[in-house]
């Protein structure tokens, strides 16, 4: 498709609801990644949960956000996109503020009475539960508000905006942290979410279902699907192996901020967190053209390998420049493998069950987040002061070992055709 054809699709292939939904997504990602950029640092340095900040964020925030959509999709089906989005932004607005309260003087008494750890777990889970509603809503709206010819471009726009939010939000978070205090990054995310709720009420229109025939889903159906998927040992084995990628990815937010400030003496750690998303935006279109004829598995292995080796660069050269180069290499690997992951997963699903299995394809993100949180705390507490390079070599080792397991898995467990 040439540039003029793409422009024609952008003008005529999308409804106004498509653009409104993507605008909401952009600002929601600004709020989410702004919070994500500072959350572990906030819990460790401001709230005083130094030894377990990574585990708390990885398990009760990011892990919950990426696991619950399995269930929250049922709510979207039942109540519609608009009502669910309003609920999502309402929870986000109150949840971000409640997290910020833990770092404010006038929230000290409340937090002390409940206990800092108990309070943080409760508000993180509450916020993440609301946040889990966003993915089914926006992705579903994009699917319903595009034509057959514009759908690929529509999702391309959606993913570009997600990465744009991921690259810009940490930088905005830095200036808020510097000028007002780290807790006000969360307050700003709360205000942004409140404005998004108002915008949804007044501007978002429920997309028409058209002539789509969709199976009615229920919690019973979700649990039935879970039994189907989790009883498939080969498929679950793949999800566990691939979670290795997300274990090393989440360290950008869980380990890198502490390394930047405590080892490199670089206070603008948010700028380093934005490098990955920025280069994913830069690399993705080029790699889509260069590697379009590669098999999905080949692209995934090359991408996984590059992402794993990236942390060696960070460990070998304790400089800010080395971090930028290392994370850029990681982004190159991520942009190489990420678009092909779902293609590979669809090929693993049994005939006639692709839809069921694809609904669980993001479980490695949640599983990887949980493991990454505990790993980040252990690495920080064990090596940050004595041998910081070792942290990155261990991460690289985890990535390389997971890559090797992927190769073994593909050779032994995947049926070859042709």
Q: Where are the alpha helices (DSSP H) in 102-179?
A: 108-114, 116-131, 134-144, 151-179
Per-residue pLDDT reduced to its tens digit, 5-58: 554 555 556 788 889 999 999 999 999 999 999 999 999 999 999 999 999 999
Q: Which residues pair with 14 in a beta bridge?
A: 146
Q: Which pLDDT does position 137 carry in this prediction?
A: 85
| 356-379 tens-digit pLDDT | 777 777 899 999 999 999 999 999
* pLDDT number for residue 209: 58
Whether the predicted pLDDT of 225 surpasses 80: no
Closest Cα partner for 97 from 185, 170, 181, 197? 185
Q: Which of 53-67, 147-161, 382-396 is predicted least confidently?
A: 147-161
Q: What is the pLDDT of residue 355?
A: 66
* Least trusted range by pLDDT, from 140-154, 163-177, 315-329: 140-154
Residue 324 confidence (pLDDT) above 50: yes
Kindly state the helix (H) or strand (E) to which residue 370 belongs, with its residue range.
Answer: helix 363-383
Q: What is the pLDDT of residue 243?
A: 96
Q: Taking residues 81-98, what's their average pLDDT?
A: 95
Instruction: Quote the percentage of the chain above a pLDDT of 70.
Output: 92
Select from 247, 262, 283, 272 the least CA-distant residue to 170.
Answer: 272
Interval 88-110 mean pLDDT: 95
- Residues 197 and 116: their CA atoms lie apart, in Å, by 29
Which residue did the predictor score with more confidence, 119 or 416?
Answer: 119
The structural domains of the chain, ordered by start, are: 15-203 (1.20.1250.20), 216-418 (1.20.1250.20)
Q: How confident is the model at residue 180 (pLDDT cuts 50, 70, 90)?
A: very high
Task: Locate 93 and state its tokens.
Answer: 């607005």
Distance between CA atoms of residues 189 and 175, nearest Å: 14
On the question of pLDDT at 255 being above 50, the answer is yes
DSSP result, 291-355:
TTTS-HHHHHHHHHHHHHHHHHHHHHS-SHHHHHHHHHHHHHHHHHHHHHHHHHHHHHSPTT-HH
CA distances from 68 to 55, 64, 71, 127, 315 (A): 18, 6, 5, 12, 35
What is the structure's pLDDT at 203? 94
pTM greater than 0.85 (yes/no): yes
> 353 phi and psi, to 5 degrees?
-125, 20
Which range, 67-71, 291-295, 386-390, is most confident? Answer: 386-390
């Amino acid at each position: 498709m040439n540039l003029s054809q793409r422009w024609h699709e952008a003008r005529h292939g999308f409804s106004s609801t498509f653009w409104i939904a993507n605008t909401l997504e952009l600002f929601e990602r600004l709020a989410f990644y702004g919070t994500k950029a500072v959350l572990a640092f906030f819990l460790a340095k401001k709230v005083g949960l130094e030894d377990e900040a990574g585990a708390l964020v990885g398990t009760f925030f990011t892990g919950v956000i990426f696991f619950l959509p399995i269930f929250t999709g049922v709510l979207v089906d039942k109540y519609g996109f608009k009502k669910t989005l309003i609920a999502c932004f309402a929870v986000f607005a109150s949840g971000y503020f409640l997290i910020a309260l833990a770092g404010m003087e006038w929230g000290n008494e409340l937090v002390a009475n409940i206990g800092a750890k108990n309070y943080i777990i409760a508000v993180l889970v509450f916020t993440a539960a609301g946040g889990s509603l966003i993915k089914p809503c926006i992705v579903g709206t994009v699917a319903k508000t595009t034509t057959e010819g514009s759908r690929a471009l529509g999702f391309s726009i959606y993913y570009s905006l997600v990465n744009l939010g991921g690259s810009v939000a940490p930088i905005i978070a830095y200036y808020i942290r510097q000028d007002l205090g780290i807790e006000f990054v969360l307050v700003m995310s709360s205000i942004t979410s409140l404005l998004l709720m108002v915008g949804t009420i007044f501007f978002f229109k429920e997309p028409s279902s058209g002539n789509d025939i969709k199976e009615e889903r229920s919690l019973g159906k979700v649990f039935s699907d879970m039994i189907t998927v989790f009883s498939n040992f080969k498929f679950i084995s793949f999800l566990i192996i691939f979670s290795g990628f997300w274990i090393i990815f989440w360290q950008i937010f869980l380990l890198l901020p502490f390394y930047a400030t405590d080892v490199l003496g670089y206070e603008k750690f948010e700028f380093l967190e934005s490098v990955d998303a920025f280069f994913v935006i830069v690399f993705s279109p080029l790699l889509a053209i260069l590697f379009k004829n590669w098999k999905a598995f080949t692209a995934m292995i090359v991408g996984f390998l590059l992402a794993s080796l990236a942390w060696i660069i960070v460990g070998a050269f304790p400089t800010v420049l080395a971090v930028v180069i290392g994370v850029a290499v990681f982004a190159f690997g991520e942009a190489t493998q990420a678009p092909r992951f779902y293609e590979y997963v669809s090929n693993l699903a049994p005939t006639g069950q692709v839809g069921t299995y694809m609904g669980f394809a993001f479980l490695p993100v949640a599983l990887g987040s949980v493991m990454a949180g505990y790993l980040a705390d252990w690495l920080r507490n064990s090596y940050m002061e004595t041998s910081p390079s070792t942290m990155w070599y261990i991460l690289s080792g985890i990535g390389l070992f997971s890559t090797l397991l992927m190769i073994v898995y593909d050779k032994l467990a995947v049926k070859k055709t042709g």
